[in-house]
Amino acid sequence: MPAPVAVPVPVPPGDHATGLGRLNAAPRAAAEAALLECCGSRRWAQRMAAHRPFPDLGALLAASDEAGYDLCPTDIAEALAGECAPCLRHDAPRAAHLALRAAHAAYESRFGHVFVISLDAFRPSQQVDQVLAGIRTRLAHDPDEERAVTAEEMRRLARGRIIELVTDAGRDDGPF
C-alpha cells in the first residue's frame, strides 16, 4: 500500500488568524521588514513580499528557495553582512568558546565573511560539534565552492526562519 500523500491545505483569503494569513495580509512594508529578518537581502525580501499571497507553507518555502537561487553575489554579501556567527551558550566551557572563536576567525580570514550554517537538523548538544566540523571542512573549499555552499546554507537558514515567522506570527509580540 502506498504511503499517504500530504495535501497542503490552502489558507482561505480571509483567514488572518494564522501566521501565513497575517504575512499575506500585512502591508507590503511590514511584510518586507519581517521577511528581511529571514534573509538579509533586500532584493529577496522585496521579491517575497511582492509574490504574496501564498496559499500554503509549501508555496511560501518554494518561493523562498526560488528567490534564494536568484540572488547575485552582491545580494548574498548583503545578507551575510547581517548574519551573526553561530555561538555557544554563556555557560559553555571557556576552552570551547576559545576554539569556536579561533575557528570563526580562520574562516572569516579565508573567505571574508561570517560562517553560516543551518543547525535545524541537530539537537542543541550537537550544534557546537557541527559548527566546528563544518568550519574545518569548509576551510578546505576553494572560494567558488564555498560561495555555493554558503548560498545553500543561507537558503536553508531562510527556510527555517520563515517557518518560525509564520508559526510565531500569531503571538502578541509577533511581527505583524
| pLDDT attached to residue 1 | 38
Does residue 10 sit within a domain? no
| pLDDT attached to residue 91 | 77
pTM, two decimal places: 0.84
Does residue 2 sit within a domain? no
Q: Which grid cell is 16?
A: 488572518
Residues of the chain with pLDDT under 70: 1-17, 168-176
| pLDDT attached to residue 173 | 55
Domain that holds residue 66: 19-77+159-168
Does residue 174 sit within a domain? no
Does residue 11 sit within a domain? no
Residue pLDDT, tens place only, 139-173: 999 999 999 999 999 999 999 999 999 986 545 55
Cα of 43 vs its chain's centroid, Å? 15
| pLDDT attached to residue 3 | 40
Residue 132: which CATH number?
Answer: 1.10.3330.10
**In total, how many domains does the chain have?**
2
Give the DSSP per-residue string, 45-113. HHHHHHTPPPSSHHHHHHHHHHHHHT--HHHHHHHHHT-------TTS-HHHHHHHHHHHHHHHHHHSS
Does residue 101 sit within a domain? yes
